[in-house]
Amino acid sequence: MRPAHLIASVVTAAAAVIALANPASAAPINYVALGDSYASGLGTGSYDGSSGGCKRGPLAYPALYAAATAPATFKSVACSGARTGDVITQAGNLTAATNLVTVQVGGNDAGFTDVITTCTFGSDQDCTNRVNQAKTYAANTLPGLLTNVYNTIKSKSPSARVVVLGYPRLYKVPGSCNVGLSDTKRAAINSGSDALHNTIGARAAAAGFRYVDVRGVFTGHEICSSSWWLNSLSWPVEESYHPNRAGHQSGYLPALRSAIG
């Protein structure tokens, strides 16, 4: 090899090494959080005054993730009580520049509040029947509603990484609780969480989104366990059966960070 060619080869190789050692800066993250009360932070007891009835707060997992990772922009529009149609409206906050989206919805569509109310005040059979109705809805009606949500997200932010988060089982069965709901009711409610998991996980996968199953993360931290990450019947009542501060900090946040990488 002639000297000139040798020098050129050395320079090229050196440039390649420098490029590997100094990769291009990652694109800035523009993060938008969508969803219902589990995503807004209802249950943590700390809410932004400007969020009104949506009960968004700094201790919810989207806000915790943003505080830990410092994205270029962050906006949560998650709202207590939101159903799939509401999340489609929330998606109006997405743009082509949005490159990270989290979304959690489906529990209210399936009748979460009514299930809990029926199981609290009704008989074991009343509870089981109402949960079975919710499971039928989750299997037959919810899939199409979720597909509409996920398609809307893709149309608004086609290049975004989208992470779909699921719901935990609420109870440890049998557990340490000697009062409250029977184990029959607790097991029925847990089976409803499993039904939501089946539907949400399948529709997220069909959309090409990452699904985060938090049931394993919350195992050992359900209501009636030795370390609760969820509120039981609480005051204010609206905070009942939602993740508490530990549920967001030690449950949802690590699961989300692991999913995003």
When pLDDT is averaged across residues 243-257 and rounded to a whole number, the result is 98
How many helices and strands in the chain, by DSSP H and E? 11, 5
Residue 252 clears pLDDT 90, i.e. is over it: yes
Cβ atoms 78, 36 nearer than 8 A: yes
When pLDDT is averaged across residues 249-259 and rounded to a whole number, the result is 98
Question: For residue 252, how many C-alpha atoms fall within 13 Å in the half-sphere facing its CB?
Answer: 31
Cβ atoms 90, 56 nearer than 8 A: no
Interacting residues of 256 by C-beta distance below 8 A, sequence separation 6+:
61, 65, 102, 163, 165, 212
Task: State how far the Cα of 35 lies from the Cα of 27, in Å rounded to an integer.
Answer: 25
Interacting residues of 250 by C-beta distance below 8 A, sequence separation 6+:
221, 229
Interacting residues of 112 by C-beta distance below 8 A, sequence separation 6+:
134, 241
In this prediction, residue 233 carries a pLDDT of: 87
Cβ atoms 169, 260 nearer than 8 A: no
**Residue 249 phi, psi (nearest 5):** -75, -45
Residue 22 clears pLDDT 80, i.e. is over it: no
Q: Which of 80, 221, 240, 242 is catalytic?
A: 242
Residue 170 clears pLDDT 60, i.e. is over it: yes
- For the domain spanning 30-260, the CATH number is 3.40.50.1110
pLDDT single digits (tens) 173-213: 999 998 899 999 999 999 999 999 999 999 999 999 999 99
pLDDT single digits (tens) 202-215: 999 999 999 999 99
pLDDT band at 10 (very low <50, low <70, confident <90, very high): very low
When pLDDT is averaged across residues 38-51 and rounded to a whole number, the result is 95
Residue 23 clears pLDDT 80, i.e. is over it: no
Phi-psi map region of 245: left, alpha, beta (phi>0 left; psi -120 to 50 alpha): alpha
In this prediction, residue 16 carries a pLDDT of: 44
In this prediction, residue 11 carries a pLDDT of: 41
Cis peptide before 174 (omega within 30 of 0): yes
Cβ atoms 89, 34 nearer than 8 A: no
In the predicted model, what is the mean pLDDT of the chain?
92
In this prediction, residue 21 carries a pLDDT of: 44
pLDDT single digits (tens) 95-142: 999 999 999 999 999 999 999 999 999 999 999 999 999 999 999 999
When pLDDT is averaged across residues 41-49 and rounded to a whole number, the result is 95
- Please say if 37 is a catalytic residue: yes
Residue 52 DSSP class: G
pLDDT cut 90: percent of the chain above it: 85
Residue 1 clears pLDDT 90, i.e. is over it: no
Residue 63 clears pLDDT 70, i.e. is over it: yes
User: Whole-prediction pTM value?
Assistant: 0.89
- Please say if 242 is a catalytic residue: yes
Q: Which of 37, 40, 80, 193 is catalytic?
A: 37
Buried/exposed code over 177-199 (b: 16+ C-beta within 10 A; e: otherwise): beeebeeebbbbbbebbebbbeb
Residue 2 clears pLDDT 70, i.e. is over it: no
pLDDT single digits (tens) 233-245: 888 899 999 999 9
Angle 74-63-75 from CA coordinates, rounded to 5°: 25
In this prediction, residue 261 carries a pLDDT of: 87
Task: State how far the Cα of 75 lies from the Cα of 77, in Å rounded to an integer.
Answer: 6
Residue 220 DSSP class: T
In this prediction, residue 25 carries a pLDDT of: 58
N-term to C-term CA, the chain: 46
